[in-house]
């Protein structure tokens, strides 16, 4: 029988924080799960880790029970001429699933290509990119509830999905996501309204294919985002703030060039957090072993073996300065544990 063991977590988090846990346990099948459920009662802190691409690990992790979900597999639940419903193990790589579905003619996920992490991590912050959110293709999530000691199937409409939020993020580590059901399209509807995609495809809209959109998304991401193998990071470090019309109008008087998009049409707007950080002069700045990425101010990068406190020193300095200069509070996106 496997037991929780000592494990260095540097290769299990994309920021590359060099820290360990005394209690690392991999769940690869339902017999590991049974054992985990049994031993989890002995731990006051439990942390579920997927691909580690949206976490900043602090010394809290040392005594926690760290559960790595390795459950794999794709099963077809139902299939008709318009849709297919698949159940995917939480340990599958998100990007590999996007590629697999595209190759089978199961459409919808193309805009979410190349987002690092696992399928089980995707519902937690309702991943989103290029004008699409995970919630739009989620049917339900199957999980173990540590709090209520039972298995639970949560329908998408009950997952409280919103921008980079869900019931799973709000109640961090109450749930162990085991599999995710995705309801995909057999007939493709392109989602090309987002400006970066629109720019790339204006010449070929007539013969546009899902693979073309996938390729455009992948090449845009490769050109903008640092490779986590070369430069530790967790993608966007701050959420784009959401403002209502009167607040935006006031800000436009102070900053006529402010960058924003529609959030809820006619009600609210998303302000570019990267733009705010830029105009406050933070692009490329370094504090200790952490820097604001030169090509994209929304990303903080690990330049010299940073720990969680080092990351938060820079993050808090940015938050304070942006708030002081613009009146806007930036919210941290990754989970700090
Ligand atoms: C270069 C880069 C680009 C990125 N781009 C985007 C982007 O475009 N859009 C976007 O939304 N995000 C983006 N991210 C963030 C990240 O990839 C996603 O949030 C991803 O879904 C996290 O999945 P993960 O498996 O790595 O989760 P982890 O980082 O391991 O965990 C994140 C949170 O989810 C919880 N969790 C993970 N798995 C489970 C599970 N099975 N059960 C219960 N809880 C679980 C963890 O406890 C933690 O609270 C990016 C990150 C990087 C490094």
DSSP state letter for 327: S
Beta bridge partners of 15: none
Active site residue 28: no
Tell me, yes or no, whether 296 lies in a domain.
yes
Domain identity same for 163 and 107? yes
In a 10 Å sphere around its CB, with 0-12 CB exposed, 13-18 middle and 19+ buried, how is residue 303 labelled? middle
| Residue 2: predicted pLDDT | 84
**Best residue among 98, 115, 159, 227 to mutate for probing ligand 1, ranked by most atoms within 8 Å of CB:** 115
Ligand 1 test: best mutation among 97, 121, 170, most atoms within 8 Å of CB? 121
Task: Looking at the structure, tell me whether residues 48 and 125 fall in a common domain.
Answer: no
Give the pLDDT confidence score for residue 93 in this predicted structure: 98
Q: Are residues 38 and 81 in the same domain?
A: no
Q: Which of 22, 52, 69 is the last residue of a domain?
A: 69
Which is the catalytic residue, given 92, 110, 133, 333?
333
**Domain presence at residue 16:** yes
For residue 93, indicate whether it is catalytic. Answer: no
**Bridge partner list, 288:** none
Pairing, β 74-79 against β 83-89: antiparallel
Distance 250 CA to ligand 1 centre (A): 34
Q: Are residues 92 and 185 in the same domain?
A: yes
Residue 81 and residue 60 in one domain: no
- 44 is annotated as an active-site residue: no
- Residue 148 covered by a domain: yes
Domain boundary among 180, 199, 218: 199
Distance, CA 187 to ligand 1 centroid (Å)? 29
Strand 150-155 to 138-145 pairing: antiparallel
CA 125 to centroid of ligand 1, rounded, Å:
7
CA distances from 105 to 119, 129, 164, 241, 284 (A): 19, 21, 28, 36, 42
In a domain, 274, yes or no: yes
**Range of 166's domain?**
74-199
| pLDDT lower than 50: segments of the chain | none
CATH number (domain holding residue 123):
3.30.465.10
State residue 205's pLDDT score.
63
In this structure, the answer to whether residues 15 and 50 fall within a common structural domain is: yes
Dihedral through CA 302, CA 303, CA 306, CA 311, nearest 10?
Answer: -50
Residue nearest to atom 18 of ligand 1 (CA): 54
Give distance in angstroms: CA of 174 to centre of ligand 1.
16
46 and 120 housed in the same domain: no
Residue 146 lies in a domain: yes
Residue pair 45/3 in contact by the 8 Å Cβ criterion:
no
Please, which residues have CB within 8 angstroms of residue 66's CB and are 6 or more apart in sequence? 7, 9, 21, 23, 24, 25, 47, 49
Domain match, 44 and 87 both: no
* Interval 82-135: pLDDT, tens: 999 999 999 999 999 999 999 999 999 999 999 999 999 999 999 999 999 999
CATH number for the domain spanning 27: value is 3.30.43.10
Last residue of a domain, one of 199, 221, 254: 199
One domain for residues 193 and 95: yes
| 254 Cα–ligand 1 center, Å | 35
Going by alpha carbons, the residue nearest to atom 52 of ligand 1 is 235
- Residue located nearest, by CA, to atom 6 of ligand 1: 115
**From CA 50, how far away is CA 227, in angstroms rounded?**
18
Pair (63, 91) in one structural domain: no
Please tell me the total count of domains within the chain.
Answer: 3
Which residue has a Cα nearest atom 1 of ligand 1? 235
Crossing angle of helices 94-104 and 210-224, in 10° steps, is 160
The ligand 1 site (C-beta within 6 Å) comprises 14, 47-55, 69, 90, 115-118, 120-122, 124-125, 127-129, 168, 172-173, 175-177, 225, 228, 233-235, 335
Do both 78 and 181 map to the same domain? yes
Q: Smallest Cα–Cα separation from 143: which of 135, 161, 155, 125? A: 155
- Would you say residue 209 lies in a domain? no
221 lies in some domain: no
Candidates 53, 133, 164, 179; catalytic one = 164
d(CA 326, CA 273): 11
Structural contact between residues 179 and 88, judged by C-beta atoms closer than 8 angstroms? yes
Q: What is the DSSP string of 138-192?
A: EEEEEEEETTTTEEEEEEGGGS--BTTB-HHHHTTTSEEEEEEEEEEESS-----
| In a domain? residue 222 | no
Same domain, 174 and 269: no
Atom of ligand 1 nearest to the CA of 125: 19
Q: Check which CATH number belongs to the domain holding 307 and give it.
A: 3.90.78.10
If you search the block for the tokens 């805009």, which residue do you land on?
111
State the Cα–Cα distance between residues 324 and 320, nearest whole angstrom: 6
Cα separation of 174 and 91, whole Å?
18
């Amino acid at each position: 029988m496997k037991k929780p063991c000592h494990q260095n977590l540097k290769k299990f988090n994309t920021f590359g924080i060099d820290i360990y846990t005394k209690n690392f346990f991999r769940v690869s099948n339902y017999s590991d799960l049974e054992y985990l459920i049994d031993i989890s009662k002995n731990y006051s802190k439990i942390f579920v880790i997927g691909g580690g691409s949206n976490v900043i690990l602090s010394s809290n992790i040392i005594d926690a029970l760290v559960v790595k979900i390795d459950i794999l597999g794709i099963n077809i639940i139902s299939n008709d001429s318009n849709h297919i419903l698949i159940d995917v193990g939480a340990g599958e790589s998100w990007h590999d699933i996007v590629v697999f579905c595209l190759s089978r003619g199961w459409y919808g996920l193309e805009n979410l290509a190349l987002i690092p992490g696992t399928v089980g991590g995707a519902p937690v912050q309702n991943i989103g990119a290029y004008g699409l959110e995970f919630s739009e293709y989620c049917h339900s999530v199957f999980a173990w509830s540590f709090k209520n000691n039972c298995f639970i199937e949560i329908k998408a409409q009950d997952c409280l999905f919103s921008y980079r939020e869900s019931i799973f993020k709000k109640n961090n580590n109450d749930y162990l996501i085991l599999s995710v059901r995705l309801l995909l399209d057999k007939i493709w509807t392109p989602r090309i309204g987002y400006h970066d995609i629109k720019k790339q495809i204006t010449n070929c809209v007539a013969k546009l294919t899902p693979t073309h959109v996938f390729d455009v998304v992948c090449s845009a991401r490769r050109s903008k985002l640092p490779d986590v193998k070369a430069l530790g990071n967790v993608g966007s470090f701050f959420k784009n703030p959401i403002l209502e019309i009167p607040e935006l109008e006031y800000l436009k008087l102070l900053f006529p060039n402010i960058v924003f998009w529609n959030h809820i049409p006619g009600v609210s707007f998303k302000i570019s957090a990267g733009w705010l950080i830029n105009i406050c002069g933070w692009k490329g700045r370094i504090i200790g072993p952490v820097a604001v990425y030169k090509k994209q101010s929304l990303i903080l990068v690990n330049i010299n073996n940073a720990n969680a406190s080092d990351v938060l020193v820079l993050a808090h300095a940015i938050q304070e300065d942006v708030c002081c200069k613009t009146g806007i509070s930036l919210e941290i996106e990754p989970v700090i544990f």
